């Protein structure tokens, strides 16, 4: 079975960060991709969980990709939190939350 490993590279100005899924274990049920607590607290049942990955190259790629997705979410969230403290380079916050000052469209 071929090991397919996805990676992500973040570049902004002089900063470059490479994100890799690591050794694992990996699953399709990502930690940052759970249903909101507000729903479960209201008695909601999560019937939308992703299916488990298959024991194939593509299946394992899917699981690693979920881990990578988690890493990206955590990384960008931490950047956003940093931005709120007054960092003028908080590009993620401006992209995701919008910025009335620079006429960005609301395209997603």
Partner 1 sequence: MTVDLDKFVKPGKDHYIALGFEGSANKLGVGVIKHNVGTLSESNPAIVLSNVRDTYITPPGEGFLPRDTARHHRNWAVRVTKKALHDAGIKGSEIDVICFTQGPGMGAPLQSVVIMARTLAQLWNIPMVGVNHCVGHIEMGREITGAQNPVVLYVSGGNTQVIAYLRQRYRIFGETLDIAIGNCLDRFARTLRIPNDPAPGYNIEQMAKKGKHLVSLPYTVKGMDLSMSGILGYIDGIAKDMFGKKPKQRLDEETGEPITAEDLCFSLQEHLFSMLVEITERALAHVNANQVLIVGGVGSNERLQEMMAAMVKDRKNGQIYATDERFCIDNGIMIAHTGLLSYRMGITNELWDTVCTQRFRTDEVFVKWRED
To partner 1, the closest distance from the beta carbon of 49 in angstroms equals: 7
Q: What would you measure as the largest C-alpha separation in the chain, in angstroms?
A: 51
To partner 1, the closest distance from the beta carbon of 48 in angstroms equals: 4
Dihedral angle computed from the Cα positions of residues 32, 34, 38 and 40, in that order, rounded to the nearest 10 degrees: -150
Q: Name which of 87 and 97 has its Cβ closer to partner 1.
A: 97
* Residues at the contact surface with partner 1, assessed by CB under 8 A: 33, 35-36, 38-39, 42-44, 48-51, 105-108
To partner 1, the closest distance from the beta carbon of 105 in angstroms equals: 8
The β-bridge relationship of strands 8-12 and 15-19 is: antiparallel
Q: Name which of 49 and 81 has its Cβ closer to partner 1.
A: 49
CB half-sphere exposure, 87, CA atoms < 13 A: 14
């Amino acid at each position: 079975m071929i090991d397919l490993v996805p990676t992500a590279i973040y570049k902004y100005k002089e900063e470059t960060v490479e994100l890799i899924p690591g050794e694992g274990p990996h699953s399709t049920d990502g930690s940052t991709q759970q249903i909101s607590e507000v729903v479960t607290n209201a008695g909601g049942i999560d019937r939308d969980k992703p299916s488990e990955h298959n024991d194939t190259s593509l299946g394992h790629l899917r699981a690693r990709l979920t881990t990578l997705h988690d890493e990206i979410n955590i990384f960008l969230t931490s950047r956003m939190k940093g931005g709120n403290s007054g960092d003028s380079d908080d590009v993620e916050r401006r992209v995701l939350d919008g910025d009335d000052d620079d006429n960005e469209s609301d395209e997603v």
